[in-house]
Amino acid sequence: FIQSNLRCDRMEQTGANAANDLESLKPDFWTNADVGSWLKLNGFQHLISKFRDHDISGPVLMMLSEQDLRKPPLSLQKLGEIKQLSYNIRRLQLAYNVTPTKSHKYLRHSDSIDSGSKDMRSSGGSLLPKNEGIKLFVATLYALVSLILTTIAMTIAHDRVPDMKTIPPLPDIFLDNIPTIPNAFEAAEWCAVTLTALFSCLILVHKHRFVIIRRYFSIIGTVFLLRALTMMSTTLSVPGKHLDNCEIRIGESWDSKYQHVLNIWRGAGLSVAGVRTCGDYMFSGHTAVLTVLNLFVCEYSPMKLRFIQTLSWSLNFFGAFFILAAHEHYTIDVIVAFYITSRTFAYYHVLANSLAHKQRNSKELTWSWFPLFSFFEENVDSILANEYEWPWTPVIEFIVRKRQILSRLREERRKNLTSCETRRTQ
């Protein structure tokens, strides 16, 4: 009787500590010890060593079914024990919207708060999925560095542009046959702005928004690094005589060059924001942005809404046409920009949608093209599903789920304490 009371006292203390520890973590991050605490909290302390021997952590626990408990290597024999443990595991699975038949998705394919890819699990009850904040920060930093280097390359290319008086525009089959259309370049930029708004709306309602944003930054960063390289390698002559702001800036101080870089950065390279540059022709940055936005919208928008894809492609091609109609770029600039951007997008997604990047030599294959690919896509091994939700849905689900877990743990703790009190009275 005394031993029973002592056991109940210890259960009260350890049960309270275990409940507090488990309340602060989702099963995604339960270690073997956490699973042991959960077993003890539910009255299965005699199974702790067996679960520990088979390295059953939180994610593995969430995948267990009644058949797994019956069959080797666990091989539980008592029917009541099997049913009770299966019932408790099932309650835990329901709390996190996971079923045994879909348990592979729990470890592989949840890119949001609910369930899916391993890199998208919440950390310590946080709304931001695990590692996704770090990945998003790194992707953003990578894109910013690429854009800064491109801006510097644009400033240098402007100072190297050939003299318009001595070197005329190169022969071009489109520019030679189409007259300059006033304000066409501004129209191209408004096409880009419209595509940006469309892409932003898609990001807001897409369930896997974090993955899409990091992929966008990774691809746009790589494309603009290539653009900076091509601009520095070869400087083409001015494509139109109407571009009268392309004089070479000789003898400028470093402060003036810094101001040029800052002006380009502030205006995002847009002429509607007052940015005018020359020499940055090979290849067209405007076409690259139009193309990558179009491809992302078409890839991650609902296939049933065909008018969205049609609108996106129309904005892409009309934007490219306006760029040429304004005589701001050579035709080869636009063609090369579309080809490089589309091939970069396709190459990235083919790798991300397959298991090729899981192979031994994958890092060597992807490092030269996407330096951070292995880090970004390490836990993605299949095509990203197009699933949609309102942006506030994860917040509401998080709050509801947190309350359910806390309520369940308190109820189980109350039952254990009641059981101890019953033993004392006996």
- Cα within 13 Å of Cα(74), Cβ side: 22
The C-alpha atoms of residue 116 and residue 192 are separated, in whole angstroms, by 33
**Is 222:146 a contact under the CB 8 Å cutoff?**
yes
Catalytic residue among 286, 349, 357, 381: 286
For 385, the token pair is 């599903």
280 is catalytic: no
User: Tokens for 408?
Assistant: 């369940």
Beta bridge partners of 108: 117
**3-state DSSP assignment of residue 33:** helix
Residue type, 220: I
Task: Based on the residue annotation, tell me whether 109 is a catalytic residue of this protein.
Answer: no
What is the Cα 138 distance to its own chain's centre?
11
Catalytic residue among 333, 349, 357, 381: 333
The active-site residue out of 329, 349, 357, 381 is 329
Q: Which two tokens stand for residue 152?
A: 């510097």
Look-up of token digits 């308190």: 410
Q: Is 158 in the active site? A: no
Contact assessment for residue 158 and residue 260, using Cβ atoms and an 8 Å cutoff? yes
Q: Say if residue 283 is preceded by a cis peptide, omega within 30 of 0.
A: yes
Name 129's bridge partners.
122
Catalogue the active-site residues.
286, 329, 333
